[in-house]
Copies of this chain bind each other. A is one copy, B any other.
Amino acid sequence: MKVYELRNVSYRYPTGEWALRGISMEVERGETLAIVGPNGAGKTTLLKLMDALVMPTEGEILFEGKLITEDTMTDKEFRRKVGFLFQNPDVMLFSATVLEDVAFGPVHLWGKERGLKRAREELRRLGIEKLADRHPYSLSGGEKKKASIACVTAMEPEVLLLDEPTRDLDLRNRNFVLDMIRSWKGERKTVVVVTHDLRLIRLADRVYVVNKEILFEGTPRELFSRPELIERANLDVPEIVRLFHELGINEIPLSVGEAVEILRGLLQR
């Protein structure tokens, strides 16, 4: 079943500039979808449109077959089902304590008592219960990211919209986020992720390359086999992919593990 259906969607900034033009796109239930593209390509706007935070200038967006309208903005059911992880955790965290921030969504959904209970549970599940009483301002970058993830997952969303979730994180925290996404994938949640991170792209079932319009749609492997497209999308080609290209090997490895196997095979011959 389709979770999202975008039909010829365009969005114009109040300044008159077009952020997106004629985007048609579908998101299947349970799939992990990566959206990639250069800076300023309208990717964040695309997520905001999907979360009914802004309305398209032209075209229409369907969520579970129903048209998204101004009313969707304040629709309880929609807000519970769809979670949005913003790129900058600072804009998500501004209560006096982390617990209050995490409880913000659940309390509005289920009332104070149940909401607070849910928030505590979620902090425990993510292993950050010790942050509950801390002020968001005093957290490190990685702690902020984890707290902002808890804000979203405390509402038990079925669809996750993630804006550059691994950006600005060091290795350990990046791994935490990647594991999180893997576990959502395992639970068959729908994940739409905007990213530059190659490790994340490799996790996706499908990739869209966007630069105001859609330039490509396909699997990560297909994407990496087309260097000209990667260049147009202003993406890094993964080093091991470049290595294979230069060695003239036709296969496209998606991970170091795959590359090791292929090369071992070749070296043994």
- Interface, chain A (partner B; CB < 8 A): 38-40, 140-142, 167-173, 196, 231, 234-236, 238-240, 242-243, 246-247, 256-257, 259-260, 263-264, 266-267
Contact = CB atoms under 8 A, between A and B. Distances in A.
Interface centre among A170, A235, A266, A267 (most CB of B within 10 A): A170
6 smallest CB-CB distances across A and B, nearest first, come from A170-B234, A246-B260, A239-B239, A39-B141, A38-B170, A39-B170
A10 B231 CA distance: 45
A171 B234 contact: yes
Contacts of A141: 39-40
A256 B244 CA distance: 10
B247 A260 contact: yes
Given A39-B140, A39-B173, A259 B234 contact: no
Contacts of A267: 247, 266-267
Contacts of A231: 171
A259 B236 contact: no
Nearest to A260: B246
B234 A256 contact: no
Contacts of A257: 246
Contacts of A196: 170
A239 B260 CA distance: 11
Contacts of A263: 243, 247, 263
A75 to B, nearest CB: 34
9 contacts: A38-B170, A38-B171, A168-B168, A171-B235, A171-B236, A239-B259, A240-B240, A242-B256, A247-B264
A269 to B, nearest CB: 9
Nearest to A231: B171
A139 to B, nearest CB: 10
